[in-house]
Structure 1
């Protein structure tokens, strides 16, 4: 019988945890974890899914779609409303947009300020 597991946290390596937490907080509206600090910051959600950001010395941002520095993980977010509007807001907050967009009509690949690829998908 398989284990009954529920995803409880996702943690991203980065050079500046508070800055990356601030980006995702503005993008998602999640609450800042009360014990966040310079080496580890996090965002809480009512259902318990935690997003953490941990400081890594000599951090190297993933390269996408080139895999010279593998992404190892990416996160997908469903957005309400217009995909173009969500993309524009995220770019204002500091996200980047790679040139390669495999299915731009259905989802967008963006990068957070630390270079992690993430997707936004219309609901």
Structure 2
């Protein structure tokens, strides 16, 4: 068995795909459209975004609408990556449990994701 896709629910798949394309440099999948958009990652792994009517974003840190999934991204510089992602439209929750080790941000649909130091990944 091989993992081929990770798909996130959202209200606007093209917008969320564009956000992550800018953030990661991953190319848009050829079959992307209005109700589903995707990015092609390493080894053909698809990061997909599907339209859901009446979508409610996760509420963090509370669990009234649980996060259900979050993504982690390794970066070389936490501050620089955070600044760039905030400029792209990411949000930054008040609760930051990682201290200097990682940062929690949210994408345009409210999904939380974490930035971790790439060198911490190797140790």
TM-score tier, shorter chain, comes to over 0.9
1:20 matched residue in structure 2: 16
Q: Matches of 2:3 and 2:61 in 1, distance apart?
A: 26
Aligned structure 1 segments of 4 or more residues deviating by more than 3 angstroms:
none
How many residues end up aligned between the 2 structures? 118
Provide structure 1 residue ranges, at least 5 long, that are not aligned to the other structure.
Answer: none
Q: What is the TM-score normalised by the length of structure 2?
A: 0.93
Deviations 1:68-108 (A, max 9, x none): 001111111111x2110000000000000000000120000
Residue range with higher mean Cα deviation, 44-53 or 17-26: 44-53
Q: Matches of 2:51 and 2:17 in 1, distance apart?
A: 11
Deviation at 1:46, TM superposition (A): 3.8
The structure where helix makes up a greater share of residues is 2
Deviation at 1:47, TM superposition (A): 1.4
1:94 matched residue in structure 2: 89
Q: Matches of 1:118 and 1:40 in 2, distance apart?
A: 20
Provide structure 2 residue ranges, at least 5 long, that are not aligned to the other structure.
Answer: 119-123
